[in-house]
Chain A
């Protein structure tokens, strides 16, 4: 590996850090398991892609397939209103499914990487629910795979062809939209403007040439009542068959006509430039480590990551493995550098407490939709980034992740969490409430007030909190009584675990503690 491996202590602190950065919320037990399994085994486990069954129809607007079955390979109704209703139902199903996948993730980096790629490619779900599902699946299945191949696949994916006008890019009317973003946002990145139309890594000439190279692809089957999938097609007569001259940034390479495979040739040329690896590694670094690129990071860490990426033929898993095992990743000063995005905040509350809805399909789906909308209210509508550049929190200098929080969204964060924590959210006739007792019983020594507080801090805070703070939290838990009173109360509960007289006081004390924890600034960081 190109980065210095981490050889320091491997405790809950480091393991918790790794899991906070790579998952949407780990339980205390998962952190303990990571400690026991050691760093290499934990990273190996995290770097396995998880397959997920497709979304199921639950909304009555879906009239083609039965409730409880999937619609991802089914036609749409022919009649317009019915088709609109089905599409609405399918988007709801897709949104709920995306949330469910995060809520039920296993110990894997998959969901965090899926979000990374969504942000990277910036495709908004505008084409069709079916096409969006297949686009997300493309990202999921290749989230740790070959970056070059992923760019190729995304280039001719129906959702992308529609989203960035590739489908209307023909020899008769070239459209530069995708060609520009391919260079600027997806592969080599836009550098400083160093001349007329010259952005350090490419020029306007390359954009124009790229547009020609990419001509000829179309999309068919959108909302079709006869086709069971929306597909990309290559139509030779729409393709520009001239030779395309690239700029000096690509060594004046000339891309020869190669019909429907020409895009692949072009991407190969782009990927011959070392800047591509540095570009994507910088983005990975900012996503997983820190927004701030110090001199050391610029001269050592990112070049090291890029070297690993190139040496492994653009295999993302290799570079992540390098990074997650590196000394740099575990620097104490690099904990708490990132402010949780709304989904990270919400699902840490849920996943770290093993809270999942346990209703029927409709009930669960409505819970997940509610969570989707809650995150949307806080500025993150999953699979609908605000622009092709993704969410500004991942690129806007100098604020970066601070952009997730403003005086409105912070209040909303608190209100949602309080709702889940205390009374539960009433969603379509079901009450969705935090699994407080499951969380407590999963801690190391639930009967010991100091241990309960230690575990809570290990799970929810990126950094050690002060003894003063721990004392405040413990006093809330014990209601200012001596620690042994909590022990007695917890043991009373254990002896009669369904009796609300002994159960409720324990639950309520813990909820009061968590209420403070979730509203502490420190909780908002990973």
Chain B
């Protein structure tokens, strides 16, 4: 099985269960058990779009350029003594304490000067370029849409189906994401609130009992019923969990990320989540003229930083941090020089943040070089082509073979090493790097053991509590040599941490299992 299977839930035909149940602790294989997807294929990408064009130079501050920045943007510059220092030369906006902590913990990397050649400063065109991952004006499909199209060429006909029960991507809000536009359909499903997955009353509709009101409610209910994704999303969010206390309920981005944590931990197999944070078009009043560390932009950055830090905290508490990586981006950066309204105008390149426990933390790319002479309309020159970031994520996070990634892009890809570690996954079993793992984990009900049986023989597995006491026998059976996916019943377990012990002869492999509600 290739790693690109990440995006393809395992098909029935590839499931091999060549053993005979002894009937103890095991249920007959049924359709429900096939619903679980597979471990390393559980990787999730979070995309956070900063709408309007984020001012990179007030977000990630090139400290070594401070004197020249003062020449260019004294009206809006962050006081140097307030900059949160990450390294000697690079600092963050003072409100971004959450992300600073993530950086120090190795969960954040900064990609400097990201853009594309011949920057287009129109919001709309530039957003299209970022969505399509292409400079070709005739390319109307999104970069993720093309990727999904390559795997599911007949979408949306006959989706969802028993092997693809969940949306491939979820766009938080009311709008499908242009990144997911495929040839025949858009692969993203909109969700404002997974607990009300149809968004019936999102637009403020109230059934006043009129004929019209009753009709709307009737149709809405039917849409809801027909919305098979909606039921799955609702089910996952309800089954899922959230443990962090850092989420601010007034921070809309944090609320959405919390929903995402609930959906992921609840077993939803969606691969991509897309979020928007708007308001970055800070032509005026970007900063408070009396206190440059406050104002519109600082509120947005605080929202972003707090939300992502809370989300990362939650993922770690839930034990699913290795499944999730996230990227922030904006259609362009802003000009180096401030304008006369305590703001900045449309510019060129800007930094992106990559976060997660499996990313290659650090600062990628040099600081921008700021001239000591004001230069009307100058932006930050592009150093990293964003298309290479997308391509690197597809290859190293989603495991898409390089030649398939190249086929999705018009330009010659130059990969960046932005993903590191966390390579223990199902494919590591295939490649011999591991012998067993559990999926999904944490699990709201049942789980599957993927096990590479090197030599034919008896194999037994038990669930133990943390004190090593056996709680139940999962199976004891004769297994042929080869890789097995063995469905196990655990819906009867209380919430908590357990050990799954797989024994063969005098050897045992103990794996951690987290049961959630």
A345 to chain B, nearest CB (A): 11
Contacts of A505 in B (CB 8 A): 122, 124-125, 127-128
A415 to chain B, nearest CB (A): 6
Tell me the complex Cα distance, A506–B211, Å.
36
Tell me the complex Cα distance, A520–B205, Å.
11
Determine, out of B15-23, B217-225, B434-442, the stretch whose residues face the partner at the interface: B217-225
Contacts of B138 in A (CB 8 A): 500
Q: A476-B174, A479-B51 are in contact. Are A520 and B203 (CB under 8 A)?
A: yes
B123 within 8 A of A: yes
Contacts of B122 in A (CB 8 A): 488-489, 492, 501-502, 505
Q: A479-B51, A516-B175 are in contact. Are A485 and B123 (CB under 8 A)?
A: yes
Q: A410-B223, A415-B156 are in contact. Are A506 and B124 (CB under 8 A)?
A: yes
**A407 touching B216, Cβ below 8 Å:** no
**B223 touching A479, Cβ below 8 Å:** no
Q: Which of A336, A423, A509 meets B184, CB within 8 Å?
A: A423
Interface 0/1 of A444-471, CB less than 8 Å to B: 0000000000000000001101111100
**B216 touching A481, Cβ below 8 Å:** no
B176 within 8 A of A: yes
Q: A480-B279, A504-B137 are in contact. Are A472 and B174 (CB under 8 A)?
A: yes
Q: A479-B123, A508-B178, A509-B124 are in contact. Are A406 and B222 (CB under 8 A)?
A: yes
A490 to chain B, nearest CB (A): 9
Tell me the complex Cα distance, A436–B208, Å.
34
Band of interface residues on A:
35 or more
Instruction: Tell me the nearest residue of chain B to A408, going by C-beta.
Output: B226
Within 8 A of B (CB), among A272-305: 290, 292
B167 to chain A, nearest CB (A): 14
**A476 touching B175, Cβ below 8 Å:** yes
A389 within 8 A of B: no
Within 8 A of A (CB), among B177-235: 178, 181, 183-186, 200, 202-205, 210-212, 215-220, 222-223, 225-226
Contacts of A326 in B (CB 8 A): none
**A469 touching B184, Cβ below 8 Å:** no
Contacts of A465 in B (CB 8 A): 203, 205
Tell me the complex Cα distance, A339–B212, Å.
9
Contacts of B127 in A (CB 8 A): 479, 505
Contacts of B120 in A (CB 8 A): 501
Q: A481-B52, A521-B220 are in contact. Are A336 and B215 (CB under 8 A)?
A: yes
Tell me the complex Cα distance, A337–B210, Å.
8
A191 within 8 A of B: no
B175 to chain A, nearest CB (A): 5
**A468 touching B216, Cβ below 8 Å:** no
Contacts of A292 in B (CB 8 A): 211
Tell me the complex Cα distance, A488–B219, Å.
38
Instruction: Tell me the nearest residue of chain A to B127, going by C-beta.
Output: A479
Contacts of A512 in B (CB 8 A): 175-176, 178
Tell me the complex Cα distance, A502–B52, Å.
17
A515 within 8 A of B: yes
B276 within 8 A of A: yes
Tell me the complex Cα distance, A468–B200, Å.
13
**B212 touching A336, Cβ below 8 Å:** yes
Q: Which of A339, A411, A467, A492 meets B215, CB within 8 Å?
A: A339
Tell me the complex Cα distance, A423–B141, Å.
9
A206 to chain B, nearest CB (A): 37
Contacts of B205 in A (CB 8 A): 465-466, 469, 521-522
Tell me the complex Cα distance, A481–B331, Å.
12
Contacts of B278 in A (CB 8 A): 475, 479-481
B360 within 8 A of A: no
Q: Which of B178, B203, B218 meets A402, CB within 8 Å?
A: B218
Tell me the complex Cα distance, A516–B321, Å.
34
**B174 touching A333, Cβ below 8 Å:** no
Instruction: Tell me the nearest residue of chain B to A472, going by C-beta.
Output: B174
**B124 touching A479, Cβ below 8 Å:** yes
Query: Which one of A336, A481, A504 has the greatest number of beta carbons of chain B within 10 Å?
Result: A481
A423 to chain B, nearest CB (A): 6
B393 to chain A, nearest CB (A): 23
Instruction: Tell me the nearest residue of chain B to A499, going by C-beta.
Output: B137
Tell me the complex Cα distance, A522–B211, Å.
12
Tell me the complex Cα distance, A467–B211, Å.
21
**B281 touching A481, Cβ below 8 Å:** yes
Q: Which of B125, B185, B203, B215 meets A466, CB within 8 Å?
A: B203
Contacts of B157 in A (CB 8 A): 415
A500 to chain B, nearest CB (A): 4
B140 within 8 A of A: yes
Q: Which of B123, B217, B223 meets A489, CB within 8 Å?
A: B123
B216 to chain A, nearest CB (A): 4
**B281 touching A410, Cβ below 8 Å:** no
A496 to chain B, nearest CB (A): 12
Tell me the complex Cα distance, A75–B138, Å.
50
Interface 0/1 of A406-422, CB less than 8 Å to B: 11101100010011001
Tell me the complex Cα distance, A411–B198, Å.
13
Contacts of B222 in A (CB 8 A): 405-407, 410
Instruction: Tell me the nearest residue of chain B to A488, going by C-beta.
Output: B122
Q: Which of B181, B212, B219 meets A335, CB within 8 Å?
A: B212
Instruction: Tell me the nearest residue of chain B to A515, going by C-beta.
Output: B176
Contacts of B140 in A (CB 8 A): 423, 504, 508
A285 to chain B, nearest CB (A): 14
**B51 touching A480, Cβ below 8 Å:** yes
Tell me the complex Cα distance, A500–B139, Å.
10
Q: Which of B186, B204, B281 meets A468, CB within 8 Å?
A: B204
**B281 touching A521, Cβ below 8 Å:** no
**B216 touching A336, Cβ below 8 Å:** yes
Contacts of A418 in B (CB 8 A): 156, 185-186
Contacts of A524 in B (CB 8 A): 215, 219
Q: A402-B218, A481-B123 are in contact. Are A336 and B211 (CB under 8 A)?
A: yes
Contacts of B178 in A (CB 8 A): 508, 512
Within 8 A of B (CB), among A159-213: none
Instruction: Tell me the nearest residue of chain A to B178, going by C-beta.
Output: A508
Tell me the complex Cα distance, A235–B204, Å.
67
Within 8 A of B (CB), among A320-346: 333-337, 339
**B128 touching A504, Cβ below 8 Å:** yes
What would 8 more interface pairs be, CB under 8 Å, given A469-B205, A501-B137?
Answer: A336-B210, A469-B204, A480-B52, A492-B122, A506-B124, A515-B176, A515-B186, A521-B217
**12 chain-A/chain-B pairs, Cβ below 8 angstroms:** A292-B211, A335-B212, A337-B215, A405-B222, A410-B219, A475-B175, A479-B123, A480-B279, A505-B125, A506-B124, A516-B175, A521-B205
3 smallest A-B Cβ distances: which pairs?
A336-B212, A505-B124, A480-B278
Which residues on A are within 8 Å of B, measured CB to CB?
A: 290, 292, 333-337, 339, 402, 405-408, 410-411, 415, 418-419, 422-423, 462-463, 465-469, 472, 475-476, 479-482, 485, 488-489, 492, 500-502, 504-506, 508-509, 512, 515-516, 519-522, 524-525
Which residues on B are within 8 Å of A, measured CB to CB?
A: 51-52, 120, 122-125, 127-128, 137-138, 140, 156-157, 174-176, 178, 181, 183-186, 200, 202-205, 210-212, 215-220, 222-223, 225-226, 276, 278-279, 281
